[in-house]
A and B are shown apart, each in its own frame.
Chain A
Amino acid sequence: MSRRSHPVARAVDEISAALATLGYRETLSPQVEDVANNFERLNIAPGHPERDPGRAFYLRAAGLEPRLLRTHISSMHPRLLAAGRPPLRAFSAGRVFRPESRDARHSPVFHQVEALRVERGLGLADLKGTLCALLRRLFGRRARLRLRPSYFPYTAPSLEFDVACRCRAGCALCGGTGWCELGGAGLLRPEVLRRSGCPAGFDAMAFAVGVERCAMLREGLPDIRVLYAERQDPR
């Protein structure tokens, strides 16, 4: 790696700059979250497989309130909706943690940038317009984008978005499909807004960008493991 800033740091800077030009303000969000913000207020009910102890890093300490390392940066939504006065546009960047095994495309620690916009009358057309504007700023006007219907418990409709891979014959990054998944998006469900104390009549849209994927695509890196210092996994 050259003596420059880290590719992940550069990607975070560029995504942040692109969001800033679209009117979003940065906000702080903690990495150690309470269970309610990470799951309950986002419609991830007890019994959901995502809450399984093998799928999240829960903390254990005498006298400590139930906490875990956030499994997604969407845990910032309940905090922002409860504290902020809509209309608002905010984003947050940082690490998220999931006990996954490491391979070319996955890591137990990775970075996400998540944005939230709360206004009256928002719809899928606004979300699509914002995603297109953001991804064109990041990957150039000629970038080919693909949106796919998806499912997240806290959004409906939900989407995932892909960018065309640079490879021509298939690579480890795109898994031979020609498309590289960058993140998820959706319109927040009314019950999530209600549970977080958002005033009635407002709609919210949210999207998250996977920073490592973004950095790998921009720098042409085939394996997420080269982004991290070479020291052994702590396990």
Chain B
Amino acid sequence: MPRFSYSALRRRCPGLTLTPAQLARRLPGWGFGVDECRRSGSDWVLDLEVPYDRPDCLSHRGLARDLASLLGAALAPAPPSPAGAGEVGSIPLHGEGRLFRATRLVRADDPRPSPPELAARLRALGGTPFFAPADAVQLARLDCGAPIWAVDADRLRGPTLRLRRARPGETLEHAYGRTTLGPDDWVIADAAGPVVLGSLLEGSAFQVGHGTRRILLGGAALPAGELRLCGVRHGIAELQACAGGADEIQASLDEALSLLRARAGRLWTAGRKGRESSCVFARRDLERLSGFRLDARRLPPLLAPLGRVSPAGGGRLRLSGWRPDLDSPGALAAELVRRLGVDRVGARRPRSSRRAPDAALLPATRLLRRLRGELTGAGFEELLHFDFCAAESPEASPLRLDGRAPGYEGLALRRDLLGGLLREAAGRARGRRFFEAGTVYRRAGTGVAERALLCGLWMGGDEAVLARDARALLRALLGRDPGWTPLDPGGELAPGLALEAGPLPIQRSGPAVGFRLDLQRLSRSGRVS
């Protein structure tokens, strides 16, 4: 969850007059979940959930811009870009022509710890203070949300860098360990190999440290989704909380430079700054989708913060660069609802159905409800198992999880409920009758067949009495004799059978009998529905 400093938001949006507590109460209504709002020194920190479609709000700059547009408040003017002194030079970043990228070469003082207030700001936002240049990059990244990096320019091998996809076999040693890179990963590489992963995570060999004379700051406007996926793939949270276009990268570099207060060379840029997008809409569609009346006088002021609209009553909205997500009338209606307040949407009550509620249910569900009522009435306790898979041999169950979900390697989908029920019942001090309804899985050709089963279990007492009671109950429930054959708790209900019942192997707590019912098959037969 990205953390935001209230004072940093206020600095960027002076018109934000809400107190931190008021802001925390209003944010969910604007689509941002609030996990925490706590004091940190003289500041407040908000821990927020930012929706997936709003990577522009992963930074202070972006969230302040959104708040300013929601509240009709003014943003603080952008500080002038620190001027280049010229004599430090530049190192270009070549590569993928379409993607915007920028570098700035900075003369480094001997690295020293950051001032205490800067270190405290960084800590409150979840960062770890290291020393001034690294902290400046971290803070600029959090403030502007762009993927930027800083490396020791004199450790680079060659006069230029290249933005490219990783090649087979390439690895990068970084602060979190060694990562084997894949063909989907973006890297900044020098003549000998990768230097930075995803325009954000510097290799350990290139980190700024004592003895660094020149720092190369840089950034590349990588697609937000790819950056996030790269973070998921390698388990690196920073990559998942960073996205930004050309403006954000330039602002981040400026911010890092002003925090460093160092002498810098000229800003080197290449690639496209981004494409202008637009949304075509009809006013009546927006009214229907949003549930608000949007006449020709009301709509233009609502759309004004989002871009340029023409003509006034509907048509085309040329979007501001920071809201490419408003690409359809549905997304635009969602934004209007966010601005006008979802609580103010009128509710149209649905008509009630005259049909009996049971008639709307599937026959198997109706049967299950009836059996559940009868079984609980007969003293059975219903259990629900958490497990849907088990450690089974490949011969017993060919439906195995592919093992890429951590912790589930080598497990197979369950074929039966009775074994689990038996193990659970054996561990219980009290209770002798249990049942469970659930789905089991079986391979069927190139697909998977699912069966809705109801399995039950009686335990303890005299075996003959158990069998007599069980058969009597099943006869009453199903309207026919269930048959009686020994059951294998490690087996499954044969595909052609609708039910089976019988004794189970003697358990530690005494004799046990059980049954397996196929709900769909039984309900289809019409005899017990």
Contacts and interface: CB of A to CB of B under 8 A. Distances in A.
B401 A60 contact: yes
Given A54-B232, A157-B334, A151 B31 contact: yes
A234 B380 contact: no
Interface string A44-83: 0001110011111111111111010100000000000000
Given A5-B376, A9-B372, A150-B51, A235 B448 contact: no
B53 interface: yes
Contacts of B381: 1, 3-4
A229 B448 contact: no
A229 B438 CA distance: 13
A91 B373 CA distance: 23
Interface string B489-511: 00000000000000000000000
A15 to B, nearest CB: 11
A67 B376 CA distance: 36
Contacts of A57: 389, 401, 405, 408
Contacts of B315: none
Interface string B324-339: 0000101101100110
A221 to B, nearest CB: 13
Contacts of B373: 5
Interface stretch (B8-16, B144-152, B250-258, B350-358): B350-358
Given A49-B229, A59-B413, A156 B328 contact: yes
Interface in B372-424: 372-373, 376, 379-391, 398-408, 411, 413, 420, 423-424
Given A148-B342, A156-B333, A61 B399 contact: yes
Nearest to B359: A20
Interface string A1-40: 1011110110001001101111111111011100000000
A220 interface: no
A227 interface: yes
B239 to A, nearest CB: 11
A99 B288 contact: no
Contacts of A99: 405-408
Interface string B232-243: 110000001000
Among B401, B423, B448, max chain A CB count under 10 A is at B448
Nearest to B382: A6
A227 B220 CA distance: 48
Nearest to B326: A156
Nearest to B34: A177
A9 B28 CA distance: 31
A88 interface: no
Interface residues of A, number: 84
A109 B350 contact: no
B481 interface: no
B362 A147 contact: no
A30 B391 CA distance: 23
A126 B350 contact: yes
Contacts of A107: 386
Nearest to B337: A157
A28 B520 CA distance: 11
A110 to B, nearest CB: 10
Nearest to A92: B362
B225 A47 contact: yes
B289 interface: yes
A23 B29 contact: no
Given A21-B353, A128-B347, A149 B448 contact: no
A181 B33 CA distance: 11
B193 interface: no
Contacts of A48: 225, 229
Contact of A150 (B31, B369, B405): B31
A179 to B, nearest CB: 8
A59 B399 contact: yes
Nearest to B430: A3
B49 to A, nearest CB: 10
A228 B350 contact: no
Interface in B279-315: 287-291
Contacts of B352: 21-23
Contacts of B447: 32, 64-65, 67
A124 B345 contact: yes
Contacts of B355: 20, 23
B233 A52 contact: yes
Interface in B151-186: none
B360 interface: yes
Contacts of B204: none
A64 B51 contact: no
A132 B348 CA distance: 10
B54 interface: yes
Given A123-B291, A147-B343, A177-B34, A58 B401 contact: yes
Contact of A20 (B361, B391, B420, B439): B361
Contacts of A19: 360
B388 A32 contact: no
Given A49-B228, A123-B288, A231-B420, A129 B350 contact: yes
Which one of B372, B402, B437 has the highest number of Cβ atoms from chain A below 10 Å of its Cβ? B402
Interface of A: 1, 3-6, 8-9, 13, 16-17, 19-28, 30-32, 47-49, 52-65, 67, 69, 94-95, 97, 99, 107-109, 121, 123-126, 128-130, 132-133, 146-151, 153, 155-159, 175, 177, 187, 189-190, 227-231, 233-235
Given A17-B357, A32-B450, A228-B384, 19 more contacts: A9-B437, A16-B357, A24-B360, A25-B360, A26-B365, A27-B362, A32-B441, A47-B229, A49-B229, A69-B388, A99-B406, A108-B386, A109-B388, A125-B347, A149-B31, A151-B31, A187-B289, A228-B385, A234-B411
Interface of B: 28-31, 33-35, 51-54, 225-226, 228-229, 232-233, 240, 287-291, 328, 330-331, 333-334, 337-338, 342-343, 345-353, 355, 357-362, 365, 369, 372-373, 376, 379-391, 398-408, 411, 413, 420, 423-424, 427, 431, 437, 439, 441, 443, 446-448, 450
26 contacts: A3-B376, A6-B382, A21-B353, A23-B353, A23-B355, A26-B360, A26-B365, A30-B450, A32-B413, A49-B228, A57-B408, A59-B399, A62-B398, A64-B399, A95-B439, A109-B386, A121-B288, A132-B349, A155-B330, A156-B334, A159-B342, A229-B385, A230-B424, A231-B385, A233-B386, A235-B411
Q: Nearest 9 pairs between A and B by C-beta?
A: A156-B330, A157-B334, A53-B404, A20-B360, A99-B405, A125-B291, A60-B402, A23-B353, A20-B357
